[in-house]
Amino acid sequence: MGKMNSTGRETQIASSAGPAGLPDGLDAAGVVEMYRTMILSRMLDERVWLMNRQGKAAIVASAQGHEAAQVASVRALDPSRDHFLIYYRQFTAMLALGVTPLELLCGFLAKSGEPMSEARQFPLHGSHPRVDLFSFSNVVGTQLPQAVGVALADRLRGDQGRVTIVYFGDGAASQGDCHEAMNFAGIHRLPVLFFCENNGYATSVPLQRQMAVESVAVRAAGYGFPGVSVDGRDMFAVYQATKDAADSIRAEGGPVLVEAKVDRLLPHTTDDDHTLYRSPDDIGQMRGRDPIDVTSRALRERRLMDEDGDKSIRQEARRLVIEATDRAEALPYPDAEAMYRHLYAE
């Protein structure tokens, strides 16, 4: 297990061996549950992409390829006390946090009953009545200073032991807000976990055109806290790195930056065509390391799940997606007049 170091030097993390070869804090049932969430996410994701092509979902940003990183990062935290600032690609993370497939579908279809913004906003934007998460905006990077403010509020109230995790992409890492947020969090050693899902692209612009360094994680050194980079297709590695980061933050160790290197299997959104800027070879290679396959294999190798188990997980997910789709499609749109509420406190 790699150690956090305050120089922020990139640290390679290997999955550690606890009982049954699982990282501390994970048991067999928990691991299968994570896989179940990944499968549900993938199937729902495929469904909404299709519904975009059918003209039913106006826009979709897919999480395909990000599932392992998202599910493991949520699992490593404690949703009963931690704060989650997500961004538009956090499909799997939201399912892992207990947002239902129906609620997500209501977001994509802009249907009545959508819990986060009453369908005023793009999918996955707003706040959630049951889960401590928010994503106000589409403007990348804005959530980073806001997360620092959430952590500062905990500090001012003397509310200890809570972590604020803020998710962002490699593209968002170029925003000035990212620098300002990390700088402030570093100075005040605030309990913030900066979680970068580095999929190598900001829409069409590859990493080499976004930054002169190898990883986002190395930048942490400039803010006086540790940064680690992990293989985001490896659920166990992401879990371990995020858990270590959260433990260190809870022990008042100050912020940590965790970077999960993932693939974005689909174009940026339903409005994009990634064959314009990615070679067939690249796309093929990426598909060969799909985190769903990687995880399925790992679970079977560790005998946490067998072929039949996998099959029944997929069947169950398919059933849930169909059921949620039918229910969402039957719902009305919110009334036009509902747009006039909630500009100011009522």
Partner 1 sequence: MATMNVLEAVRDAMRLEMRRDPNVFILGEDVGARGGVFLATNGFVAEFGEQRVIDTPLAESSIVGIALGAAVSGMRPIAEIQFGDFIWPAINQLVGEAARARYGTAGQRNASMVVRVPHGGGVRGGLYHSQSVEALLAHTPGLKVVAPSTPYDAKGLLISAIRDDDPVVFLEHKRTYRLVRGEAPEGYYTEPIGRAEIKRRGEDLTVITYGLMLHYTLQAAEQVSESEGIEAEVIDLRTLRPLDVDTVIESVRRTSKALIVQEDTPVASIGSEVAAVIADRAFFDLDGPVRRVTPPDFPPMPYSPLQEAEYMPSPNKISYAIRQLIDL
Ligand X SMILES: Cc1ncc(C[n+]2csc(CCOP(=O)(O)OP(=O)(O)O)c2C)c(N)n1
Tell me how far, at minimum, the Cβ of 118 lies from ligand X, in Å: 22
Of 212, 229, 246, give the one whose Cα is nearest residue 79: 246
Name the one range near Mg ion by CB under 5 A: 14-22, 74-82, 193-201, 226-234. 193-201
Nearest residue relative to ligand X (C-beta):
169
Q: Which of residues 119-158 bind Mg ion (CB under 5 A)?
A: none
With CB cut-offs between 5 and 8 Å by kind, which of partner 1, ligand X, Mg ion, none does residue 172 bind? ligand X
| Residue 171 binds ligand X, judged by CB under 6 A | yes
The dihedral through the CA atoms of 310, 315, 329, 333 has a sign that is negative
Residue 187 or 213 with smaller CB distance to partner 1: 187
Q: Which does 59 bind (CB under 5 to 8 A by kind): Mg ion, partner 1, ligand X, none?
A: none
Q: What are phi and psi of 195, to 5 degrees?
A: -115, 105
The β-bridge relationship of strands 133-135 and 83-85 is: parallel
Nearest alpha-carbon partner for 87 in 17, 158, 177, 153: 177
Q: How far is the CB of 198 from partner 1 (least distance, A)?
A: 22
Is 140 a binding residue for ligand X by CB under 6 A? The answer is yes
Q: Which residue, 171, 167, 172, is CA-closest to 141? A: 172
Q: Pattern 303-342, binding to partner 1, x per CB under 8 A?
A: --------------------------------------xx
Report the nearest approach of ligand X to the CB of residue 300 (Å): 29
Is 34 or 260 the residue whose CB approaches ligand X more closely? Answer: 260
How big is the CA angle at 143 (ends 166 and 259), to the nearest 5 degrees?
Answer: 35
Q: Does 259 bind Mg ion (CB under 5 A)?
A: no
Nearer to ligand X, 23 or 171 (CB): 171
Q: What's the CA dihedral at 287, 288, 293, 294 to 10 degrees?
A: -120
Whether the CA torsion 107, 109, 110, 115 is positive or negative: it is negative
Q: Is position 65 an interface residue for Mg ion (rule: CB under 5 A)?
A: no
- Is residue 68 within 8 A of residue 295, CB to CB? The reply is yes
Closest by CA position to 11, among listed 192, 256, 291:
256
238 neighbors 173 (Cβ within 8 angstroms): no
The residue assigned the tokens 């070679």 is 279
Shortest distance in whole angstroms from residue 265 CB to partner 1: 29
- Chain centroid, CA 264 distance in Å: 12
Among 112, 183, 203, 270, contact with ligand X (rule: CB under 6 A): 203
Binding positions for ligand X, rule: CB under 6 A:
89, 138-140, 169-172, 197, 199, 201-203, 264, 268
Binding positions for partner 1, rule: CB under 8 A:
83, 116-118, 120-121, 125-129, 134, 136-137, 139, 142, 144-157, 176-177, 180-181, 183-184, 187, 341-346
